[in-house]
A = this chain, B = another copy of it.
Amino acid sequence: MTPRGRPRDTQVDERVLRIAADLIFERGYTGLSIDEVAEQAGVAKTTLYRRWPTKDHLAVAVVARLQADHEIDETGDIRADLVNNLDKIAAALNRMRAAGGREGPSAGVAGELVAAAARHDDIGKLAREQYAERNALGLALIERARVRGELRADLDAEALFDQLAGALYYRVLITGAPVDRAYVERLVSSALEGNLTCQ
């Protein structure tokens, strides 16, 4: 069933998101101007605001499009599985960190998105749903390893995954420390020593 009135120009969405992505990754979140996006896209500002009610919503849409689907390839070795899983999270974080041509310890766009989720209930709700889904995958991974005897029977899966994912976010958003594969491996080792079943 088609809606009643004049249909939206679907090309606008794609064009706007591409232009906004260019701006946000070239000049950062502050350098992203709605007026400029509208002008470069050749549309009126009202057309943008009909689709994304705030600049935050547009920025979220831009970043969401760049995050590839987060599928996990399970090997059966919990250490390798966790490292692979966390490495994808780290990659997404480093991508956002690099936005705006920034280097060094700054959290870049990642920090702005955290604030956007805090400002707008709908963005926060959407983001938390995404995180909940990702957390569920991580918890399932841990749970299966527990069942097959790789991990302690009485472990706290929620706390364990919080520790792992949390450490990555903590370094990117708070301390500014680097997050590379070597660190992810150190992290998993640190968390698993003792969560591995004792012999």
**Residues of A bordering B, CB below 8 Å:** 29-30, 105-112, 114-115, 117-119, 121, 124, 127-128, 131-132, 135, 152, 155-156, 158-160, 162-171, 173-177, 183, 186-187, 189-196, 198
> Known: A118-B107, A166-B168. Contact between A189 and B112, CB under 8 A?
no
- Does A117 lie within 8 Å of B111, measured CB to CB? yes
- Does A119 lie within 8 Å of B30, measured CB to CB? yes
- Does A117 lie within 8 Å of B107, measured CB to CB? yes
Could you tell me the distance in whole angstroms from the C-beta of A87 to the nearest C-beta in chain B? 15
- Does A132 lie within 8 Å of B167, measured CB to CB? no
- Please, could you name 7 A-B residue pairs with CB atoms under 8 Å apart, sorted by A? A107-B114, A107-B118, A124-B176, A127-B174, A163-B163, A165-B170, A194-B196
A158 CB contacts on chain B under 8 angstroms? 186
> Known: A115-B111, A117-B111. Contact between A190 and B176, CB under 8 A?
no
Determine the distance from Cα of A81 to Cα of B128 in the docked complex, in whole angstroms: 31
- Does A115 lie within 8 Å of B117, measured CB to CB? no
Determine the distance from Cα of A114 to Cα of B96 in the docked complex, in whole angstroms: 14
Looking at the complex, which one of B30, B128, B190 makes contact with A175 (CB distance below 8 Å)? B128
